[in-house]
Structure 1
Amino acid sequence: MSRTTASLKRQIGGATDLQSVVRTMKAMAASNIVQFESSVRALADYNRTVELALGVCLREVEFADPHPPPAGQNAANTTAAIVFGSDQGLVGQFNSIIAEQALQTLAPLPGKHLIWTVGERVHTSLADSESQLVGQFNVPSTVKAIAPLIGQLLVEYEAQTEQNTGNQLFLFYNRPTVGSLYEPVSQRLLPLDAPWRRQLCETPWPTKNLPQVLGNHLPTMRKLTGEYLFVSIFRACAESLASENASRLAAMQRADKNIEELLVKLNSSFHRQRQSSIDEELFDVVAGFEAFRS
């Protein structure tokens, strides 16, 4: 049964409204990508400053104790992880990919596994794992909302692990890449391993005025380590949000293309149906006229 012009017109109207929504979501995703990528670039200078200051403190520690205990001497009895995902859909395999990365990385590690998730969707993906999900947080929608989230995560981490020694802390998130939308990343933040400390110690100071740590260097080092954790988690969150919006932008571009193709077909059918209706009316008029003349 052929579709009537009225039904075709309704379908065209519905598809046009949907295309308007899709294009609005495309614009929002593109705008979000810009703000989150800009925040990552702006964070680079501060991160560099923190690493230089940590290098100074670590050199003083090495000088005070030239034979520090090797990293990893105490086996970790608790492994903590923060996994960044999404609250909303239309992101393809975004959450399943990072959840699988987290599970594969944590599986061979001994001891208790504590996981905090940022995003309802990734929390669901990890719900059936053997790891203990100790917290779930909503995904921040703006750059300003990232800092309070990081503060809550650090408070939760300290509260859960303050009674344990030899803790490990991992980050799992998707990072934007050139040539593809994103790639899963796993990063171990704690403990600060020997190669990382050695690299910071060997980093030259950028000016001729060499710095010094006044007073006890240990409190300064603890404070700088906290800043290092904050910067690292902030960057992971911002890159995850940029990747999420890039994935959503790609999905909206595909949807926009499909709707455009559908509209072409519907408009073509509508014009054919309308022309056919006009032809039928003309034939009726001509037939009536011929009948009247005879």
Structure 2
Amino acid sequence: MATTLTALRRQIDSAGDLKSVVRTMKASAASAIGQYERSVAALGDYARTVELGLGVCLRSVEQPPRETQTALAATPLMHAVVFGSDQGLVGRFNEVVVDHAVSALAQTRCRVWAVGERANARLVDAGITPEGCFAVPGSVELITRLVGDILLKVQAPAATTQADQPAATQSTALTLFYNRPNAAGYTPVSQRLLPLDALWQHGLANRPWPGDQLPEVLDASAQTLRAFIREHLFVSLFRASAESLASENASRLAAMQRADRNIGELLQELQAHFHQLRQAGIDEELFDVISGFDALSTSDEAKSTP
């Protein structure tokens, strides 16, 4: 009995320690969600400013430079970036985004880059060997470094090119796959960054200017346009990374809430079993005392009888 009670007490203590760890992870995930959501909201104002400037440039440039052309060369080289996680305890976060990417990239010639070791492993299991794997940033400040690394890798020339088309003139397409937060948690989405969409460019060029005077680009309008396109790429990659991180922490928070609930139920069962065994031990000891008292009483009565 003592051994069983000791084992149960050890299990209860372990479950209590695990519950404390889960609650700490819940608090950390909830705090991280707010951090990344605030960064996305703050980025919205800058993104609108970039789009306004890009619209002015598109109106002033008669012939857009090559990177703004929407028509791709034959069999263009496509780059895809799949945002996942480095750590576990996130439910089906990586499976959902990788399945979405694999479905969209089926029968497509592309170079795939993974963000996060878990997403990289899922891509390999799905039959896609990524060109490389980026580490998931641990804070908002580190997202800028990730964006720079992605742009450097994507803009690097491919190791193999078409025989009749140099690498420098090959058209390049860039698509992002990531989870976006919503009321239900998150949903997988894809966003094409390059080539720029013709309808999107037309909408920017015809967007009303918020002020009375329409600005003009004085000199080097094509160069200015390229600068705004680079800023647009930066903003889009930064937003995708921040939304993916917010979704990851939302998934981790949901997983920790389920774990907290399951551990609480397990603790109740263990404590109920512990109290039952303890009460059974107390009852057994009381019965032994009563039986011993009855035996002594019977013996004394027998001795006192003449």
Whether these two folds match at TM > 0.5 is yes
1:95 and 1:102, CA in 2 relative to 1: closer, same or farther beyond 3 A?
A: same
Q: What is the match of residue 160 of structure 1?
A: 157
Q: Which amino acid aligns with 2:56?
A: V
The 1-side partners of 2:251 and 2:126 are apart by 25
Asked if 1:186 is matched to 2:190, the reply is: yes
Specify which of 276, 289, 292 is matched with residue 293 of structure 2.
Answer: 289
Specify which of 167, 177, 200 is matched with residue 182 of structure 2.
Answer: 177
1:286 and 1:131, CA in 2 relative to 1: closer, same or farther beyond 3 A?
A: closer
**Deviation at residue 92 of structure 1 after TM alignment:** 1.9
User: Which secondary structure does the structure 2 equivalent of 1:227 belong to?
Assistant: helix
Identity of aligned residues (%): 54
1:26 and 1:147, CA in 2 relative to 1: closer, same or farther beyond 3 A?
A: same
**Number of residue pairs aligned between Structure 1 and Structure 2:** 287
Q: What is the match of residue 74 of structure 1?
A: 73
Q: Which amino acid aligns with 1:171?
A: L
Is the 1:113–1:131 contact (alpha carbons within 8 Å) kept by the matching residues of 2?
no
The 2-side partners of 1:72 and 1:47 are apart by 25
1:166 and 1:129, CA in 2 relative to 1: closer, same or farther beyond 3 A?
A: farther
Is the 1:76–1:165 contact (alpha carbons within 8 Å) kept by the matching residues of 2?
no
The 1-side partners of 2:99 and 2:44 are apart by 29
Q: Which amino acid aligns with 2:85?
A: S
Instruction: Give the unaligned 5+ runs of structure 1.
Output: none
User: Which secondary structure does the structure 1 equivalent of 2:102 belong to?
Assistant: helix
The 1-side partners of 2:295 and 2:125 are apart by 79
Q: Which amino acid aligns with 1:84?
A: F
Asked if 1:98 is matched to 2:102, the reply is: no
**Deviation at residue 291 of structure 1 after TM alignment:** 2.2
Q: What is the match of residue 261 of structure 1?
A: 265
Superposed, 1:217-236 pairs within 5 Å as 217-236=221-240
Is the 1:77–1:164 contact (alpha carbons within 8 Å) kept by the matching residues of 2?
no
Larger radius of gyration between Structure 1 and Structure 2: 2
1:76 and 1:38, CA in 2 relative to 1: closer, same or farther beyond 3 A?
A: farther
Q: Which amino acid aligns with 1:262?
A: L
Specify which of 215, 231, 239 is matched with residue 211 of structure 1.
Answer: 215
The 1-side partners of 2:69 and 2:123 are apart by 34
Q: Which amino acid aligns with 1:103?
A: V
Runs (4+) of structure 1 exceeding 3 A deviation are 128-132
The 1-side partners of 2:15 and 2:253 are apart by 19
Deviations 1:52-84 (A, max 9, x none): 00000000114x68xxx9732533520001110
Deviations 1:66-106 (A, max 9, x none): xxx97325335200011100111111221122112112222
Superposed, 1:1-294 pairs within 5 Å as 4-62=4-62, 71-72=70-71, 74-109=73-108, 112-128=109-125, 133-160=130-157, 163-178=168-183, 180-294=184-298
User: Which secondary structure does the structure 2 equivalent of 1:103 belong to?
Assistant: helix
Instruction: Give the unaligned 5+ runs of structure 2.
Output: 159-166, 299-306
User: Which secondary structure does the structure 2 equivalent of 1:144 belong to?
Assistant: helix
Q: CA RMSD in A?
A: 2.0
1:70 and 1:222, CA in 2 relative to 1: closer, same or farther beyond 3 A?
A: closer
Please identify, of 91-100 and 32-41, the stretch whose mean Cα deviation from structure 2 is larger: 91-100
User: Which secondary structure does the structure 1 equivalent of 2:218 belong to?
Assistant: coil
TM-score normalised to structure 2 length: 0.88
**Deviation at residue 132 of structure 1 after TM alignment:** 5.3
TM-score normalised to structure 1 length: 0.92
User: Which secondary structure does the structure 2 equivalent of 1:145 belong to?
Assistant: helix
Q: Which amino acid aligns with 1:26?
A: K
